[in-house]
Amino acid sequence: MWVEVAGIAEQLEAIQMRLSQDKNLTLLRRFQLFFFITVFLMTMGRGAFAENTLLRVEYFPSVVKQGDVCFIKASGLTSLKSIYGEFRGEKFPMAFGARNGTYEGLLGIDRNTPPAIYEIKIVAIDGSQSVYSSALLLKVEKVNFGTQNLSLPPSMVDLDPKTLERVNKEARRLTELFQGFRDERLWSGAFIRPVPGELTAAFGLGRIINGQHRSPHTGVDIRAEEGTPVLACNNGVVVLVDQLFFPGKSVILDHGWGIYSMYFHLSEALGGEGDRISTGAVLGRVGSTGRSTGFHLHWGVRMNGAQVNPLSLLGLTEH
Ligand SMILES: [Zn+2]
């Protein structure tokens, strides 16, 4: 049995409204989007709204930008055997939410995801093997991340072969780590900010270091006094405690379901790999180790490989 989500007609209407208001779209792009919506209605519309109240899907925030995290909530069906979502051909997990009869999941939109309208599919299977599917449209908006000019000691930028080898090895280690997937969902409830303080470098900033274009900023920098306690943004397992070349003293947490948070430039890391820690537990102290120009915390989040803005996690799961 295939069932479509309620409200898809309203979503299409809202997108079409926005298209008609958006003066920056070229005629070709307008045509492409119109074509997409028409094909979508033709292919998805057949019998789609007949039993549209069974599996209801909502997402927050309502406007999604590159690098955002989306909270997906499904309700209307109980006693499901399994439920998952699909975005751009990749599956993402969902599970029982806090309230009875709701299922929830987090979807990370990588900062490099091309701005477009995407379909998110939610597939649920109940005890008698009936398959329910809901589709919803998600418009990902473009972000102008901006650029930042930095001056750093040449030894931190133009690396000698030995250091370069070390840096590449560390990068490979992190990439491998972020490809891991823990079935167990450790995160629950609201994500919190690891330290209070002013944001000194935003997520996604393009970087020109000593006049040369370098990789964009993969997290947020929060200014804080040396020694300020750094708190776990949610429940997790410590999967890395080490001194790395660029990130300095680092701690990485695995929150389950492919979600990792990282804390860089620490003066001190508390605890060790394998430790399970709860939301708000102290995992280290603010420092300025590695490639850093002052005391601050670099806080980054990866979600199934996607680079996402950690700030977009805050307050998200309270809906
Ligand atoms: Zn940073």
Residue 253, token pair as written in the block: 């947490």
* Cα–Cα distance, 81 to 94 (Å, whole number): 11
pLDDT mean over 125-147: 91
> What does the pLDDT average to over 72-98?
87
Taking 80 as the threshold, does the pLDDT of residue 174 lie above it?
A: yes
From residue 93, give the alpha-carbon distance in Å to each of 187, 196, 262, 296.
13, 31, 21, 33
State in Å: Cα 116 to ligand 1 middle: 28
User: How many Å apart are CA 163 and CA 291, to the nearest integer?
Assistant: 13
Strand order in the sheet with 80-87: 64-65, 131-141, 116-126, 80-87, 90-93
Write out pLDDT tens, residues 256-269. 999 999 999 999 99
**CA–CA separation, 153 and 151 (whole Å):** 7
For the residues of 4-40, what is the DSSP string, one character each? PPTTHHHHHHHHHHHHHH-TT--HHHHHHHHHHHHHH
Q: Give me the phi and psi of 125, to 5 degrees please.
A: -125, 130
Q: What string of DSSP letters covers 71-126? A: EEEEES--SEEEEEEEETTEEEE-EE-SSTTEEEEEEE--TTSPSEEEEEEEEEEE
Q: What distance in angstroms lies between residue 204's CA and the mean position of ligand 1's atoms?
A: 10
299 C-alpha to center of ligand 1: Å? Answer: 7
Give residue 59 CA to ligand 1 midpoint distance, Å.
29
Question: Ligand 1 centre and the CA of 89: distance in Å?
Answer: 31
- Summarize pLDDT for 292-317 with one digit per residue, the tens: 989 999 999 999 889 999 999 997 87
Going from the Cα of 284 to the center of ligand 1, the distance in angstroms, rounded, reads 16
Averaged pLDDT for residues 127-139: 89
For residue 203, pLDDT over 80 is answered with yes
Whether 264 and 219 have beta carbons less than 8 Å apart is answered as: yes
Q: How far is the CA of 217 from the centre of ligand 1 (A)?
A: 6
Residue 202 Cα to ligand 1 middle (Å): 8
**Tens-digit pLDDT profile for residues 26-66:** 444 444 443 333 333 333 433 222 234 588 888 888 889 99
Q: Give the model confidence (pLDDT) of 93-117 as tens digits.
A: 998 776 667 888 999 999 999 999 9
Q: What is the pTM of this model?
A: 0.81
Q: In degrees rounded to 5, what are phi and psi of residue 241?
A: -135, 115
